[in-house]
Structure 1
Amino acid sequence: MPYRKLFSALMLLACLGVTSASLADSGNLTVVGAGGVLQDAERKAFFEPFAKSSGVSVTEDSYSGQMAKVRAMVASGSVSWDVMQVEQNTLLSGCAEGLFEELDWTRIGHQEDFIPEAYNECGVGAFVWSMVPSYDKSKLAEGPTNWADFWDIQKWPGKRGFRQTAKMTLEIALLADGVPATEVYDVLSTKGGQDRAFAKLDQIKPDIIWWTSGAESLERLASGDVVATATFNGRVSAANATGKNFALIWDGQVYGIDYWAIVKGSANRENAEKFIAFASSDAAQSVFPQYMAYGVTNKKAISSVKPELAKDLPTTEENLKTAVGLNTEFWADNGEALEARFATWRAQ
């Protein structure tokens, strides 16, 4: 192209507001979440605003926490997922296994702007969630108020819902058996403590229905398949916002953090980093609890959440009094053995 025509073309782009920086913002990104109402909330708070502000075309996918597909992608070098929402233990194991990229935090934000648990070399804390007991108040005038009550099959006959993992289920069993929240991992770190947790589960094993997704936990509660269930607090709040009347019980909540991570070999790494920086900003995070009652990790966002929303978040001071924080180091060290024992125990 002759210089004069090239110059004219560049001037036209400038007049239209199309700069080299905005051109670089275009492209594609595939973000993978956990589906259901949680991903609906992420779409409103993060995915759609990011796409609008950046010009990046965002495609969504979802998964149930299994990493087999990610391993296959990374091993084959054919990676179709870019950013994933992952739980703490998945982040730690995936980072060690080489399934996630190490982040350049200078592109994300300042570490001191986040709660300490939000920082990881392979991930940024997206939100804080908790596992809580719940029941349908439209069917029970008075239901369980803690995990010990949850085990009382005689007072509240019927099935109980649990997530099909050892993680959190064993902690819950110890809480139900009277172990103080502050001592749960001290007990669970011993062989006797692990035996105690499984023995407690034995008491109600015939009455347990296992679920594998948060949506399923409340679907079973709504249908009456279970009388009470362990479930995610944010899904309870979301269901109640649509007219359900599920109990939200904070006594004995077990809370953890989900993270944003970039799949190793992502072809859209630059856009992935831009998305994580956007979703980690105080502006974006402060909006998220409007759509899902999960705590946030950006300190400025925490302070700006409306009080009427903050009271139903896991990170509210009152709700933390009897809480157990998920110990990711414990599960990194013991998860494989305990999950194997758990699978064997369920099959017996």
Structure 2
Amino acid sequence: MKSKMLKHAACALSLSLLTSLGSARAAPDMVVVGYGGAGQKAQDVAFFQPFSASDGSRLIQSEYNGEMARIKVMVDTGSVDWDLVQIEGPDLMRGCDEGLYERLDWQALGGSAQLIADAAQACGSAALVWSVAIAYDTDKLAPGPASWADFWDVKRFPGKRGLRKRAVYNLEFALLADGVPVDQVYAQLATPQGVERAFAKLDQLKPYIQWWEAGAQPAQWLAAGDVTMTSTYSGRVAQAAQAGSHLALVWPGSLYGMDYWAIIKGSRHAGQAKRFMAFANRPEAQVKYVEQIPYGPTNTEAAARLDPRLAQWVPTAPQNLAGALAMDVAFWVDHGEELEERFNAWASR
């Protein structure tokens, strides 16, 4: 959900920030690994510091970009130096099946009745609801784009386009740009013809694409004028807009899903990690998080407590869900490896 920037940041109070596995190995405290940037700073304020204070325990933060291979090596070698990680839905499901994560007892965690659908998983507890949408600068585009078809229209809207360098998201957006209705996107992608159609559509835009890999890049590129429009995690642009920028989001055709907290199999601090999960699911903690960065809460009570002016930026607000596409996690579990491999080969050509 999801920020993915690898950059250094200072942590206050008793929390330390580590940016390398070597540093984590020396740590006697629970190591929590997220995606860095503004999202992790918000987690620090809403979750990490308050949890440490209430639990009477220490935790250490580190950052990564979702590298599953690194986690697999830890588990396979029995040298587990991270404890709790933020992970995307497809990677959580694959890793759970492969035995990379501890299975959860939801009754011991306080139950899941207040959580939204799919937030409570066998190996994961949802951290947030994210959305990937089109962003643009209203000072530079008026009128702006209204759809992925507009995103692909380089004649009407000349200039570079920012896209995340992954198959996931982009294949869905390509089909939406090619006129596939929202409710038929994954049925199309499940066929060889649908995959060919998506890549053919990406071919049309490829000369204009500027690939982003860190969540902070889209807003930075828009501000600098490097791209005319870009896909982006909604929370980053919402935060920039709240700070006074003139960036806007196009919610129809946005793709939404969840990131999860997962405990790496063999963690030496599994008990502490489970207490953290229970703490992070509390409505008051989630409201505080959304106030820091407007991703969607996973606790229904938290969602009901949000100020309407804040709720307009949240992916799960009713008006923002209209015309949006829910990520099909099972599809990416089944097909992600082959599609990412094909995408990487295509992008490198």
TM-score scaled by length of structure 1: 0.90
Structure 2 partner of 1:284: 285
Whichever of the two has the greater Rg, that structure is 1
> 3-state SS of the aligned residue for 1:132?
strand
1:134 counterpart residue number: 135
Match of 1:76 in 2: 77
SS of the aligned residue for 1:254 comes to strand
> More displaced, 63-72 or 46-55?
63-72
Q: Which residue number corresponds to residue 51 of structure 1?
A: 52
Residues 151-195 of structure 1: CA deviation (Å, up to 9, x unaligned): 111111111011111111100111111111111111111111111
Match in the other structure for 2:107:
106
- Measured in 1, the distance between the counterparts of 2:182 and 2:213 equals 25
**Deviation, structure 1 residue 215:** 1.1
Q: Partner amino acid for 1:241?
A: Q
- Aligned equivalents of 2:71, 2:216: Cα separation in 1: 23
RMSD: 1.3
Q: Deviations over 1:87-126 (max 9, x none)?
A: 1011011111221111121232212221121021100111
Aligned twin of 2:39? 38
1:221-240 equivalences under 5 Å are 221-240=222-241
Distance 2:220 2:185 in 1: 30
1:200 aligns with 2:201: yes
Equivalences for residues 143-292 of structure 1 within 5 A: 143-292=144-293
Q: 3-state DSSP class of the match of 2:128?
A: strand
CA distance in 2, matches of 1:118, 1:95: 15
Aligned residue in 1 for 2:300: 299
Match of 1:317 in 2: 318
> Deviation at 1:203?
0.7
Q: Between 250-259 and 104-113, report the one with greater CA deviation.
A: 104-113
Confirm or deny: 8 A CA contact 1:108 1:280 kept in the other structure.
no
| Structure 2 residue identity aligned to 1:240 | A
SS in 2 for 1:322: coil
User: Structure 2: how far apart are the matches of 1:268 and 1:122?
Assistant: 16
- In the aligned structure 1, how far is the partner of 2:66 from the partner of 2:272? 23
For the pair 1:61 / 2:62, whether they are aligned, the reply is yes
Cα deviation digits, residues 138-158 of structure 1 (max 9, x gap): 332332121111111111111
Counterpart amino acid of residue 342 in structure 1: F
Offset at 1:66?
1.3
Q: What is the deviation of 1:49? A: 0.7
Whole-Å separation in 2 of the counterparts to 1:40 and 1:302: 21
Matches within 5 A, 1:337-348: 337-348=338-349
- Report the AA paired with residue 280 of structure 1: N
Q: Report the equivalent of 2:332.
A: 331
* Structure 2: distance between partners of 1:153 and 1:79: 48
Is the 1:156–1:227 Cα contact (8 Å) retained in structure 2? yes
The answer to whether the 8 A contact 1:107-1:277 is kept is no
Shift of 1:217: 2.3
In the TM superposition, what is the alpha-carbon distance from 1:242 to its structure 2 partner? 2.8
Equivalent residue of 2:58, what SS?
strand
Offset, 1:288: 1.5
Q: Which residue of 2 aligns with 1:16?
A: none
| Partner Cα separation in structure 2 for residue 220 and residue 265 of structure 1 | 41
Code of the aligned partner of 2:172 = E
Shift of residue 70, structure 1, vs aligned partner: 1.2
Superposed structure 1 runs of 4+ greater than 4 Å apart:
none
SS in 2 for 1:248: strand
**Percent identity over paired residues:** 47
Q: Using the alignment, how far apart are the partners of 2:183 and 2:72 within structure 1? A: 36
- Answer whether contact 1:31 1:58 (CA < 8 A) is retained: yes
- 1-side partners of 2:305 and 2:59: how far apart? 28
Match of 1:4 in 2: none
Give the C-alpha shift of residue 68 in structure 1: 2.1
Quote the Cα distance in structure 1 between the aligned partners of 2:302 and 2:244. Answer: 28
Structure 1 position 78, deviation (Å) = 1.7
Deviations 1:241-284 (A, max 9, x none): 33322111101110010111101111111110111110011221
Distance across 2 between alignment mates of 1:205 and 1:172: 13
Secondary structure, aligned partner of 1:56: coil
Give the structure 1 partner of residue 13 of structure 2.
none
For residue 185 of structure 2, what is the amino acid of its counterpart? V
Distance in 2, matches of 1:249 and 1:304, equals 25
User: What CA distance in whole angstroms lies between the structure 2 residues aligned with 1:248 and 1:109?
Assistant: 36
